[in-house]
Amino acid sequence: MKIHVDLDITPEEMRKLMGLPDVEAFQQQLLDDIRARMQAGAEGYDPLKLFQPYMASSLAGMDMMQKLFAAGLSGSTGGSGKGGDAE
């Protein structure tokens, strides 16, 4: 059985339908903060230092995800070995 549903709604309406928060004000504040930092340090502009506070937690999350995948892959390859070949 297949059910196909087409929704013709805006992203804002979809957010409300899914119960997700409206983060537009937060995004605008973040962009204003980045713009102010760029203007303040235009001579010594270093994008890595600018985004470092925002990226620290996401990079830690990516590292954790990689370790999780590595643990899953090493566990699945070790357990599927010789059981079917020993006939």
* pTM for the model: 0.37
Three-state SS sequence of 14-74:
HHHHHCCCCCHHHHHHHHHHHHHHHHHCCCCCCHHHHHHHHHHHHHHHHHHHHHHHHHHHH
User: Residues 19-74: pLDDT tens digits?
Assistant: 888 888 888 998 888 788 777 766 666 667 767 776 666 667 777 778 888 888 77
How far apart CA 68 and CA 43 sit, in angstroms, is 41
How open is the CA angle 48-54-57, to the nearest 5 degrees? 110
State the Cα–Cα distance between residues 20 and 14, nearest whole angstrom. Answer: 8
